[in-house]
Amino acid sequence: MNKVVIIFLVCFGVSINLYSQQAEENQSLHSTPVPIQVTVGNQSSLYQMIFSKQFGNNNQYTFFNLSEYELSYESETPENYLIQSIFFYNINQNFSLGTGANLKAHGGFKPLIAGAYSFFNRNFDVVIQPSIELEKDGVGEVFVLLEWHPMKNKKVNPFVSIQGLTSYKAENGNHDFSYAYLKIGAQLGSFIVGPAVNFSEAGKGLNSQSNVNVGGFLRITI
């Protein structure tokens, strides 16, 4: 558990350092902000950070990091954590190919290859990112992030987020793990707060385990 916390903090530090460099260089064509959010539910708490930083000539490359840490109230050991880091080559403004690695609570460290479609403007964020782990016991997965955050020059603006992931074992095609995070909130400057529902399912068929975590979330964008 301590190793996971250390790795999480290292990824956080690297991301903040890259974010600071981005601010100094003032290169943000369609680099996303850095949202750090906490979801507190009736069964567990989820801490998440998503970071995307473009760099190189004409923003030719992107570093992407997704860090999640879920803590169940029934145990001091987190039921689920994920640290995913990918370096992408940007084919154009929307499509990218990359390579990186996953570090998971159930699966350990595995290298991967990935593709991505991304679209960002003042009102919408769209990310669709398929990937496959390069191990015999690895998984293929699709990550999706859809967000609506209209900027209406008001003190309080609406916010809707749908984040989902589904993965299947590469060896036999059986379902491995899926989740959907649904959030509706109010945006006040760099803060967003509101209700949240997290759905998750692990395994296949009669051996599968489902979970619904209902609560609220707080997001800080830096």
With cut-offs at 50, 70 and 90, classify the pLDDT of residue 78.
low
pTM of structure: 0.82
Does the structure show a pLDDT above 60 at 26? no
The dihedral of CA 221, 189, 28, 98: what is its sign? positive
Mean of the pLDDT values across residues 125-139? Answer: 94
First-to-last C-alpha distance (Å) of the chain: 27
Average pLDDT over residues 125-146: 95
β-strands 108-120, 139-148: how paired? unpaired
Higher pLDDT: 29 or 136? It is: 136
Radius of gyration of the chain (CA): 17
CA-based nearest residue to 191, from 221, 146, 163, 216: 221
- Could you report the per-residue pLDDT of 161-206, keeping only the tens digit for each? 999 999 999 888 899 999 999 999 999 988 999 999 999 998 887 7
Query: Residue 145: enclosing H or E segment and its boundaries?
Result: strand 139-148
At residue 33 the predicted structure's pLDDT band, cuts being 50, 70 and 90, is confident
191-to-63, 118, 180, 216 alpha-carbon distances in Å? 24, 23, 22, 13
Give the model confidence (pLDDT) of 98-120 as tens digits. Answer: 999 999 987 889 999 999 999 98
What would the mean pLDDT of 50-60 be, rounded to a whole number?
90
**Cβ atoms of residues 29 and 59 within 8 Å:** yes
| Angle at 127 (CA atoms; ends 222, 195), nearest 5 degrees | 60
| pLDDT tens per residue across span 198-208 | 999 988 877 78
Residue 63, both tokens: 């570093």
Domains of the chain: 2-221 (2.40.230)
